[in-house]
Amino acid sequence: MAEDALTRTRNLFIRRWGEMGATWGISRTMAEIHALLFLTGEPFCTDDIMEQLQVSRGNASMNLRHLVNWGLIRRTHLRGDRKEYFISDLDAWQMFETITRERRRREVEPIIETIDRCRKDLATEMDGLDADKQTEAKRYDEKLEDMIEFIHAVNALLDTVLSSGGGKIRKLTGALMRFAAGVRQTGS
Amino acid sequence: MAEDALTRTRNLFIRRWGEMGATWGISRTMAEIHALLFLTGEPFCTDDIMEQLQVSRGNASMNLRHLVNWGLIRRTHLRGDRKEYFISDLDAWQMFETITRERRRREVEPIIETIDRCRKDLATEMDGLDADKQTEAKRYDEKLEDMIEFIHAVNALLDTVLSSGGGKIRKLTGALMRFAAGVRQTGS
DNA sequence: CAATTGTTTCAGATATTAATGAAACCACCC
DNA sequence: GGGTGGTTTCATTAATATCTGAAACAATTG
């Protein structure tokens, strides 16, 4: 039947997107709403979403708000209509950028702070420890330093990729691959 | 007191690591066990872990198994001791690689399949649709194509980074940054 | 300013997920 | 084969996260 191919595609995509979101820290409904808006590119109002996804008003409202806070969708209005509509007009790369920045701020920054604090803590108390403990403390510190370095390296890499924008990603990857090949040949 | 700096550091790190894991799809206990093994680098048996983290035998056993399945820790034995011990001897980069590969296999592959299926579905039914629907279908397809391209680009980038190994990351990032700067100047 | 339309909140209900602990299991040794 | 030390399973319980729906709230209109 004519309409089914579209609807089926939409629903399948929405369901999977929702599941995927769930394995990340994003609630299923939130991911599904996003999928719906992203895929259609059209403005939807709260009632549309309630009907399409069969969720309650409260649920729809909450998750729409979260999505707006994340910067993944935005409010909009249709002329001649009092209702608020929501729309997703970011492309995949912009979405990635938004999510990355948000998660970094919410999750990575705190762990960096924690590690720094742990290391300071260790350093200040180092003197008071006997030899065995000092060795152990040193081992901890090395691990923590490694971790910090790793995080910084990934951050730097991400910044570079993000700031270069989606349009250039293929060029970047190409360059990177060539470079990596070079590094591998000449050794570290 | 002498012992406290070590213990405090350890516990703080473990707690945070656990929380962080929880916001990813990793259960708190699993992340905490991993943090404990990672930070100390020492072999622990099930009973050690039960005591250190105050969890039940079943919980410890289950999560140890998961960690082994993920490839993040491995079983080992101490001579003269029948018990099984567990150890984490991967560095941050190896961990990243392991987790990335695992998550890609478990979460990204399925969504690629879904999208491909959606697009095939759309393509085969395209002819039967009237003009409006065709336009809409086309729009869906474009979105899906974008998404696929994005995923492939990220995969390629990740492969490059992963295959180059942790030791070379700084060189890679440096090269990438220089290149990105070049691209930005000359335009896409 | 009352009626209408639309949005947000929140206490309680529901569903999902993780943890417990006792029992079953396994492998080895004597 | 039976005892011992160790590991795994799984039904039950506990904790979390999520969703609902009705009520409170805001804004707009006639």
Percent of chain A with pLDDT over 90: 55
Interface test with chain B among A9, A90, A111, A186, by most B beta carbons within 10 Å: A9
- Local structure of residue B106 (DSSP, 8 states): I
> What is the pLDDT averaged over residues B27-51?
95
Q: Report whether A181 contacts B169 (CB < 8 A).
A: no
Written as six digits, the tokens of A43 are 């403005």
Q: Tell me what pLDDT residue A50 has.
A: 96
Q: What residues have CB less than 8 Å from B149, skipping those under 6 apart?
A: A92
Which range among A3-12, A159-168, A173-182, B141-150 shows the weakest confidence by mean pLDDT?
A173-182
Contact state of A5 with B107 under an 8 Å Cβ cutoff:
no
Measured distance CA(A42)–CA(A44) in Å, rounded: 6
On the question of pLDDT at A77 being above 90, the answer is yes
Smallest Cα distance from A90 to chain B, Å: 11
Q: Is the Cβ atom of B128 within 7 Å of strand C at any atom?
A: no
Q: Report whether B156 contacts A173 (CB < 8 A).
A: yes
Q: Name the one residue in this structure whose structure tokens are 């570290």.
A: A188
- Local structure of residue A25 (DSSP, 8 states): T
> What is the pLDDT averaged over residues B26-47?
94
Q: Is the Cβ atom of B52 within 7 Å of strand C at any atom?
A: no
Q: Find and list the nucleotides of strand C having atoms within 7 Å of a protein beta carbon.
A: 5-11, 17-23
B57-108 pLDDT per residue, tens: 999 999 999 999 999 999 999 888 889 999 999 999 899 889 888 888 888 9
On the question of pLDDT at A188 being above 90, the answer is no
On the question of pLDDT at A168 being above 70, the answer is no
On the question of pLDDT at A185 being above 60, the answer is no
* Closest CB from A8, A156, A170 relative to B173: A156
Contact state of B188 with A167 under an 8 Å Cβ cutoff:
yes
As a whole number of angstroms, the longest Cα–Cα distance in chain B is 79
A10-56 pLDDT per residue, tens: 999 999 999 988 888 789 999 999 999 999 999 999 999 999 999 99
- Local structure of residue B58 (DSSP, 8 states): H
B118-136 pLDDT per residue, tens: 999 999 999 888 898 999 9
On the question of pLDDT at B187 being above 50, the answer is no
B56-68 pLDDT per residue, tens: 999 999 999 999 9
Instruction: Check CB contact of B123 with chain A, cutoff 8 Å.
Output: no
Q: Give me the residue spans of the domains in chain B.
A: 2-87, 92-186
Q: Tell me what pLDDT residue A2 has.
A: 43
Q: Is the Cβ atom of A50 within 7 Å of strand D at any atom?
A: no
Instruction: Check CB contact of B142 with chain A, cutoff 8 Å.
Output: no
- Local structure of residue A88 (DSSP, 8 states): -
A78-128 pLDDT per residue, tens: 988 889 999 999 999 899 989 888 889 888 999 999 999 999 999 999 988
Q: For residue B44, count other CB atoms closer than 10 A to its CB.
A: 22
- Measured CA to CA in angstroms, residue B165 lies from A7, A121, B88, B97 at distances of 44, 31, 18, 9
CA A50 distance to own-chain centroid = 25
Measured distance CA(A134)–CA(A123) in Å, rounded: 10
CATH match of B2-87 with 1.10.10.10:
yes
Q: What is the DSSP string of A140-157?
A: HHHHHHHHHHHHHHHHHH
Contact state of B157 with A143 under an 8 Å Cβ cutoff:
no
Instruction: Check CB contact of B157 with chain A, cutoff 8 Å.
Output: yes
CA A71 distance to own-chain centroid = 11
Q: Report whether A100 contacts A158 (CB < 8 A).
A: yes
On the question of pLDDT at B141 being above 90, the answer is yes
